[in-house]
Amino acid sequence: MDMEELIGFVTGNKNRQKLLSLLSSRHELGAEKLAGNMHIARPSVDKIVEELLEKELVVRENGMYRLTELGEALERRVQSI
């Protein structure tokens, strides 16, 4: 997937966009904190995180999630739109 396709993938879902934005500002969060901050159910967060993991936008370490370099670059591009 190129950057334009990834931008479409993220901006096509407000919760994907919100999750990336949260990780960008907080740097690292667990799924429960993400769900609480986003005001959505934990299973929804898990689904979004799995999608972002597949696209290599997010990594999981010790139960915490953070943006990859690609995720950070994408988040900056989305914010500038």
Model confidence at 81, pLDDT cuts 50, 70, 90, reads confident
pLDDT in tens, 37-47: 999 999 999 99
Please give the average per-residue pLDDT across 20-24, as a whole number: 97
C-alpha angle 2/18/50, rounded to 5°?
60
pTM metric for this prediction: 0.93
Q: What is the mean pLDDT of the chain?
A: 96
Please give the average per-residue pLDDT across 2-30, as a whole number: 96
Domains present along the chain, CATH in parentheses: 3-79 (1.10.10.10)
pLDDT in tens, 52-77: 999 999 999 999 999 999 999 999 99
Note the helical H segments in the chain: 3-11, 14-26, 31-38, 42-54, 69-79
